[in-house]
Structure formats: C-alpha cells, structure tokens
Amino acid sequence: MALDIPLEPPCHAIDMSAVEALLGEEPVAETEWVPGEKPYGLDVEATTFGCAYEGQSGSDGLEREFALTMAGEEMRVEAWNEFYDSADTCRKLEPPSAIGADAIGALVCPSAIDDWSRVMLAGVFGVAGVQCWVLVPDDEIDPTLEASVMSECARTLIELGS
C-alpha cells in the first residue's frame, strides 16, 4: 500500500541524530521554508516546502547538506516519471522495498558543484512529490553511505505518511 503524505511542512519528521550522522557533525545552519517564502535570502519565491541542514565548510569552502523538499502543489505520477526518466546523468539505485509509493526512485545525481553529488530518494506519495537527499563530495559516496541515506530517507517518508 502506498503512503499518503499530506502537502504540509515536512521538517517535523526529520531525526536530527540521523542528520548529524549523515553530515558527520551537528548542523551549523538550518533553513526551513514554505511556498512563497524566499529561503537563503534569494529574490525568488519558493514553490516547495523544505528544510535543509548544512555542515561546516570544508577546506574547499563547501559544506555537506541534508535536505527534504516537497512540491507545494499536488504532483501527478506522470510528472514525476518525466523527471525520473530524464535523469540520464544520474546513477539509479534500488529504492528501499519497505516503502510504498505511487512512484519512487533512488538516484545518485551530479550537482551543480564539481565533484559533488546528491544521493536521493524521491517519489510521489498520494499527491505529494517528495525528495530527500544528502549532498556530499563524490569521493565519499560508497554503498554504506548510499544505504544510510536510503534508510533515513525511507524512515522520514514513512513518518510523514503516518
């Protein structure tokens, strides 16, 4: 049976101890937003609900990030499938089998930052299009990290649907 996740702020479902484990430290910055707000001081209004937790900047000036976003409007499976099918620069992983979704995928996708990627679990749950990911340097991505991200993202999605 597929989870039915309501369209509302999702941040309450996040386990901060799991975020700390994925980031390797306590977050130094937290950003939460709802549609219409301007997160990160940008001039563009958000169309999603979201929360992001950033670690300390490394020697390269970049920081790891855990994020959870949800489309601010109902999402249809067809729209999600277009996103998933067009993810041709991504490596597809096996999504956790314990989570029911109308559409689901697990991906490792390059980010706009050279040599950094997002390890993500994304899908449609009822009418909610949700993405959960960790942004990390490519050289830190291995099967253990992928499994940890999938486990925490699946747990978070199940919490959102309960």
- Please say whether the beta carbons of 118 and 108 come within 8 A: yes
Once rounded to an integer, what is the mean pLDDT over residues 78-82? 88
pLDDT number for residue 42: 74
Q: Does residue 143 carry a pLDDT above 70?
A: yes
Among all chains, which residue has been given the structure tokens 């939460």? 32
Among all chains, which residue has been given the structure tokens 């990290």? 145
Once rounded to an integer, what is the mean pLDDT over residues 3-10? 90
Once rounded to an integer, what is the mean pLDDT over residues 96-120? 92
- Of the chain, the percentage scoring pLDDT greater than 90 comes to 74
pLDDT number for residue 109: 95
Return d(Cα 8, Cα 46) in angstroms, integer.
Answer: 14
- Please say whether the beta carbons of 27 and 55 come within 8 A: yes
pTM of the complete model = 0.91
- Please say whether the beta carbons of 5 and 123 come within 8 A: no
Structure tokens at 141: 């991505």
Residue 148: Cβ within 10 Å count: 16
How high does pLDDT run on average in the chain? Answer: 91
Question: Within 13 Å and on the Cβ side, how many CA atoms surround 113?
Answer: 13
CA angle 130, 68, 6 (to 5 degrees): 45
How do residues 81-106 score in pLDDT, each as one tens digit? Answer: 888 888 889 999 999 988 889 999 99
